[in-house]
Structure 1
Amino acid sequence: MPGTPAKKQTTGWQASLALHFSCPADKTLLQSAQHVGPLTVQRPFYPEGGTCHLYLLHPPGGIVGGDTLDITVRLEPKSHVLITMPGASKFYRSSGAQAHLHQQFYLEEEAILEWLPQDTIFFPGAQAALRSVFHLHRSSTLMAWELFCLGRPVIHEAFSHGTLESRLEVWLDGEPLLIERQHLAEGHLDPVMHYPWIGTLLFYPAREHHLEAVRQRLGPFEQMAGATLTENLLSVRFLSDDNLICQQVMRDIWQDLRPLLTDKTPYSPRIWQT
């Protein structure tokens, strides 16, 4: 209508990525990769035999208010996939619109998923909502982590305003093993004691000796880390102000547990060295 001010455009990328893996003959194949928008993957490669290594590419330049990204990963029986990213994910400042990232993972019998993304940076003023859900079969194996960075501590910039809502779920044969929520808003960072780095690692199936091995690796975090074992789900959490310590300890834990949970020796993705 004449004289009516135009509405502010808040719609951003509406992107989706659906990955489907199968293992017909001792080699995991990317059966299909359907994507809409700027979510995509590089060509799979096999540096250690039949295990599929895959790099996931987030939108160029990062994620902004109004963006909605949906990622679905399905592993058929006996599939073994390691997924990481070339660099950090970034949620930028928003004038009000929320950015959404939804991630769903489905593991069938004897499937192995190593979900090892690089860190996720939340710029001051970001309005971010994240949800990651892992659906496990009793015989499947999960090694997963997430590392959140609040603000840009390297330039002494805190997460002084904005909102982060995150939800992490693990389901086993349709029953919940873990449902965890976190809400940080407008600089009220008491729940994380104002530390800029928040880390979580998940391993299934785990036993007491795995728990003890992990606890020995948590020394660099002093009192700001802990590990628990609940119904064979090993959960590791920490707070830190040093990114290099975070990355080193996370990779050390993964390297320790990988040969214990699979028949594979540690094989670090080459992209981590660049």
Structure 2
Amino acid sequence: MSQPPRARGEVVVSAKVAGGVTRLGDLRQQGSLKALFPRGAGPALDVVTLNTAGGLTSGDAMRLTATARAGAQMRLTTQAAERAYRAAGDPPARVESRLVAEDGARIDWLPQETILFDGARLERKLVMDLAPTATALLVEPLLFGRLARGEQVREGRLLDRWEVRRDGRLVFADALRLGGDMAATLDRPGVGGGARAVASVLFAGAAAEAHLDAARALLAGSGGASLIAEGVLFARLMAPDGYALRAALVPLICRLTGAALPKVWTL
């Protein structure tokens, strides 16, 4: 029996400072992953990625490498919510992202939600390498089914890993692993308490401590924030659905970026 076609995609992109302005540096893209560059009103280079395959399923593989050169500012997001569909079997869909911010640079990683469908198999890895004076904001929202359409995720597998290094030293690592009946797991009081939408947020930079009290106030009732190391603020949000998650997440993103969301978030 022939195997269904697998989607493959890769984007390698960099931002540099030229004439005092952040501009596109290098760009290479192939397969089903593409990069778009809308004209933004702020100082950052806006990069919008698009999976032209329309979603992820077993055997798909997407890879992104983004580098903000010294002093550059880059803001990355997705054209729409990513969808991880029911897998036909093993192997899982794999998504790898590597972000690099050189001295004085800033990267804001702001993808829209990833939606897990019943039976999805997804493995993701996000690696962030920061120079000593670089700044980064990492945000990952995740939805377990589209509740407004009556969808429930009863079975599936998710492995989601983060690694953040500052000057080559590991300053943050996190791994989320869910399998089997994910809905039952999320219903447990010590795990999700019935939540079907979660988000992880990490801010790494000199202003981390200054943001802590405001972040805790914004997340009252929907999550918590902690200064887990010098210059590293981490927050996790949980909500019953995607609408409630955005209601808490959007003000936090705006606080940590000092700017409005990318326009694709509101289209």
Q: 1:116 aligns with which of 110, 130, 134?
A: 110
- Per-residue CA deviation, residues 140-161 of structure 1 (Å, 9 max, x unaligned), is 1111200011122222322211
Partner of 1:24: 18
> Counterparts in 2 of 1:65-80, with a 5 A limit?
65-80=58-73
Q: Helix, strand or coil for the counterpart of 1:219?
A: coil
> Counterparts in 2 of 1:188-207, with a 5 A limit?
188=182, 189=185, 190=188, 191-205=191-205, 206-207=207-208
Q: Is the 8 A contact 2:7 2:53 kept in 1?
A: no
Q: Which amino acid aligns with 2:57?
A: V
- Per-residue CA deviation, residues 48-75 of structure 1 (Å, 9 max, x unaligned), is 2x42122111233211111011110011
Partners in 2 of 1:208 and 1:104 — Cα distance? 25
Partners in 2 of 1:254 and 1:43 — Cα distance? 21
What's the Cα RMSD here? 1.6
Partners in 1 of 2:121 and 2:39 — Cα distance? 35
Tell me the TM-score normalised to structure 2 length: 0.91
Partner of 1:36: 30
Partner of 2:250: 251
Q: Helix, strand or coil for the counterpart of 1:198?
A: strand
Q: Helix, strand or coil for the counterpart of 1:272?
A: helix
Partners in 1 of 2:41 and 2:54 — Cα distance? 29
Q: Helix, strand or coil for the counterpart of 1:23?
A: strand
Q: 2:174 aligns with which of 143, 164, 180?
A: 180
Q: 1:228 aligns with which of 201, 226, 229?
A: 226
> Which has the larger displacement, 246-255 or 90-99?
246-255
Q: Helix, strand or coil for the counterpart of 2:264?
A: helix
**Over 6 Å off, 4+ runs:** none
Q: Which amino acid aligns with 1:183?
A: R
Q: Helix, strand or coil for the counterpart of 2:21?
A: coil
The alignment of Structure 1 onto Structure 2 pairs a total of residues equal to: 258
Q: Is the 8 A contact 1:220 1:245 kept in 2?
A: no
**Are residues 1:239 and 2:238 paired?**
yes
Q: Is the 8 A contact 2:147 2:241 kept in 1?
A: no
Q: Name which one, 1 or 2, has greater alpha-carbon Rg.
A: 1
Partner of 1:3: none
Tell me the TM-score normalised to structure 1 length: 0.89
Q: Which has the higher strand share?
A: 2
The alignment-based identity, stated in percent, is 24
Partner of 1:94: 87
Partner of 2:209: 208
- Per-residue CA deviation, residues 173-196 of structure 1 (Å, 9 max, x unaligned), is 111111111111111424334421
Partners in 2 of 1:210 and 1:143 — Cα distance? 12
Q: Which amino acid aligns with 2:261?
A: S
